[in-house]
Amino acid sequence: MQTKNILLLGLLGVAFSACHKEESVKVSTASVTVGQTITSDTLTGSVKGTLQSGRTYYFSSDITINAGDTLLMQEGTRLIALGDGKTTATSPQITCNGTFISLGTEDNNNFITVLDSLRTTSNIGAGFWGGIQCGASSGDVIIKWTHLEFAGGPAGDAADPAVFASGDPRNFLSYTNIEGQVIVEDSWFYGSTDDGIRILHGNISFMRNTFEACGKAGGESLNMKAGTVGDVAYNVSIGAATNSFKVSNSGGATVQTNVYVYNNTILNGGMRQVKSGRGGSINYEKGAQGKIYNNIIVNCRFGLRVTSDADTTHIAHNNQYYYANAQYMIKQFNSTDGVARAGSADISSASVKDKNPLFGSYDVDQFDFSTVTPPLDISKMPLTILTAQSYNWSLLPGSPGLRKGDADSFQAQAKVTTGGTYGATILQPGVDMGAYQSDGTGNQHYTTSLASK
């Protein structure tokens, strides 16, 4: 095993934020180590170093990564929150003023979750812990092949007022460093109380993730606000309370929000939001700009919503695929309270159940949305339309979405470090619509988060 300084590793294509340049890092073909290996299975107070592969660690009160420090989870690590979600004190969070890294792999996933006895579908929205909360000067967040489950405990009086009011549900991850990087790929986000993830500022890459049942009565899978720049692609979002992806320039920042949302598969969204004018799949508003292409949107309360106060001059969208088995959804493929209209290369149901996308193993008509009127309580929505089960959202031969993506009009922004252990693996727009490409690239998930142990 060889020891090198971070600065030397940078020459090999491994990049970190400046806040942890001086950390000692060991690299081998088997593992990556930052600082000292953490030997105690109980984490308290300030933490830094490496959580070791194959081990389980626990925390029952807030833990903090201090500025300049790094906490790294090797592959096959479990971090268990011991909380009940009833109060701030009993729903512990990871406070990140430094850098947080979780390096799960396809064969050896990581978990940030709760006790196995609580990892049940009945606890969707329970909010047992407080998520990973990053300060305005925090380092990077890098999450790969990791399961994050059941976050959403109430924020306390000490919460950042720019993010949460006291009592608000917290998210799996909130991030506020406009100069930092958030790389999240091939991971699962299951059963949050409100928004799954909230980015208030920062450079982002969200690739090939699966969001399940995010938001009990409201909330997005991924909520991006002022100063967020980057790419959101090849993700699956099923059963979000409101939008899967909300993009806004609200919140005040020196950098304008600019997000490319492409090649995602979005299902059964927006059905639980009780407030009007909130959207149900993809929402751009309040000065945001970006590109929206190649997304499959199935049985969502609203399709693409671009409000009149968005930066419409710098928004481009086309090649969306809309399917619905309810007429009220068809009427809102392009939300009537927005300014977006059908694109020249959009595919959409002309009537109920028209143009079935022909997924590999997902019945788009297993639930008849024409028999219900939103908003719905989550208890009225079967788990089979909220969570990923063992579905396969690849497109079968004969699907209208095959070879109908636009892979030529634009490229990913790639605003984060790419390649290597710590960099993002960014996929460019695909020739097929949705998150799964016919050549086997794209999203690699075929099970719900809870199926993994």
Instruction: Write out pLDDT tens, residues 28-75.
Output: 445 799 999 999 999 999 999 999 999 999 999 999 999 999 999 999
Q: Which residues contact 336 (CB under 8 A, 6 or more apart)?
A: none
pLDDT at 270 over 90: yes
- Whole-number pLDDT of residue 159: 83
Percent of the chain with pLDDT over 90: 90
Average pLDDT of the segment spanning 179-189: 99
> How sure is the predictor about 158, in pLDDT bands with cuts at 50, 70 and 90?
confident
User: How high is the mean pLDDT of the chain?
Assistant: 94
Instruction: Write out pLDDT tens, residues 72-96.
Output: 999 999 999 999 999 999 999 999 9
Instruction: Write out pLDDT tens, residues 279-323.
Output: 999 999 999 999 999 999 999 999 999 999 999 999 999 999 999
Better-predicted residue by pLDDT, 254 or 110: 110
How many independent structural domains does the chain possess?
Answer: 1
pLDDT at 27 over 90: no
Average pLDDT of the segment spanning 146-175: 94
- Whole-number pLDDT of residue 15: 42
Whether the CB-CB separation of 415 and 203 falls below 8 Å is answered with yes
Residue 26 inside a domain? The answer is: no
Residue 25 inside a domain? The answer is: no
Percent of the chain with pLDDT over 70: 93
Burial of 238-249, coded b for 16+ CB within 10 Å and e otherwise, reads bbbbbbbbbbbb
pLDDT at 172 over 70: yes
pLDDT at 428 over 70: yes
Residue span of the structural domain in which 183 resides: 37-451
> How sure is the predictor about 5, in pLDDT bands with cuts at 50, 70 and 90?
very low
- Whole-number pLDDT of residue 222: 99
pLDDT at 386 over 60: yes
pLDDT at 6 over 80: no
Residue with tokens 């969070």: 93
> How sure is the predictor about 16, in pLDDT bands with cuts at 50, 70 and 90?
very low
Angle at 201 between CA 200 and CA 202, to 5 degrees: 135
- Whole-number pLDDT of residue 215: 98
Residue 302 inside a domain? The answer is: yes
Residue 170 inside a domain? The answer is: yes
- Rama region for 226: left / alpha / beta (φ>0; ψ in -120 to 50; rest): beta
Give the predicted TM-score (pTM) of the model: 0.94
- Whole-number pLDDT of residue 251: 87
Residue 396 inside a domain? The answer is: yes
pLDDT at 203 over 60: yes
C-alpha–C-alpha distance, residues 172 and 314, integer Å: 30
Residue 15 inside a domain? The answer is: no
- Whole-number pLDDT of residue 160: 84
pLDDT at 9 over 60: no
Residue 22 inside a domain? The answer is: no
Residue 348 inside a domain? The answer is: yes
Average pLDDT of the segment spanning 251-259: 92
Instruction: Write out pLDDT tens, residues 402-415.
Output: 999 999 999 999 99
Average pLDDT of the segment spanning 363-377: 98
